[in-house]
């Protein structure tokens, strides 16, 4: 995907305008919604990749038993929410788009891996899986995350 700041801003503004009218971009123009989604994915990936080292360190500390499950859940959740908040600013503050330039060579999956770990905490709370299951899942994601080395 070729990134265009101008087009990204246009789509965000259009989406916001429709939302203010009680409408939805997906319903009004699915093609534009799909295009905006691609821009949003590029932004999300870039933001999560800037915090990659922090996420990977937390995973490593958990896997190496330096921190326990509760400490991991707390620290990971705080970092995840902070990163999501930064991402959400792109749909509120158009100046963020002006500053943004995605890396064209980076693969797109890191943010979804991190989101998958975050959702595991709810699975434990709902007793669909155990802390051990989460640790095994984190190990799998940790190994996959090595492809995102800088």
Mean pLDDT of 102-128: 84
pLDDT, the chain, mean: 90
In which domain, by residue range, is 132 found?
5-148
Whether pLDDT at 78 is above 80: yes
Whether pLDDT at 150 is above 60: no
Whether pLDDT at 88 is above 60: yes
Overall number of domains in the chain? 1
Range 130-135, long-range pairs (CB < 8 A, 24+ positions): 131/69, 134/69, 135/62, 135/63, 135/69
């Amino acid at each position: 995907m070729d990134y265009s700041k101008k087009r990204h801003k246009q789509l965000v503004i259009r989406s916001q305008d429709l939302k203010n009218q009680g409408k939805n971009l997906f319903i009004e123009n699915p093609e534009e919604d799909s295009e905006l989604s691609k821009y949003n994915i590029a932004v999300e990936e870039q933001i999560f990749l800037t915090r990659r080292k922090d996420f990977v360190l937390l995973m490593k500390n958990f896997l190496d038993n330096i921190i326990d499950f509760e400490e991991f859940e707390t620290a990971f959740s705080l970092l995840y929410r902070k990163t999501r908040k930064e991402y959400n600013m792109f749909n509120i503050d158009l100046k963020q788009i002006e500053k943004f330039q995605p890396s064209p060579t980076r693969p797109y999956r890191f943010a979804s891996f991190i989101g998958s770990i975050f959702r595991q905490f709810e699975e434990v709370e709902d007793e669909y899986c155990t802390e051990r299951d989460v640790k095994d899942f984190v190990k799998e994601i940790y190994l996959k995350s090595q492809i995102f080395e800088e």
